[in-house]
Amino acid sequence: MKPRVKLAESTFPGGIMSLTEHDGSYSISLDGKELMYSRANASELLLGSLGVARLRNE
């Protein structure tokens, strides 16, 4: 079993955000809750569509 490697961590008023690597995949977490994962792109697609929608409304 390959270990999870913490590559970076930052503390700010909203919590602790960390970047980890496991078996060639990367993950961004906030207070231990995964926000983004390099093998799943649904969150990136949603963020992109929200940004484009906002630009269209301006």
pLDDT band at 4 (very low <50, low <70, confident <90, very high): very high
Coil, strand or helix: which one is 45?
Answer: helix
Domain of 46?
5-57
- Answer whether residue 58 shows pLDDT above 80: no
What pLDDT score was predicted for residue 1? 86
Evaluated on CA atoms 23, 48, 33, 16, the torsion sign reads positive
Long-range contacts of 44-48 (CB under 8 A, 24+ apart): none
pLDDT at position 14, please?
A: 87
Question: Which pLDDT tens digit goes with each residue over 6-57?
Answer: 999 999 888 999 999 999 999 999 999 998 888 888 878 888 888 888 888 8
Q: What is the number of domains present in the chain? A: 1
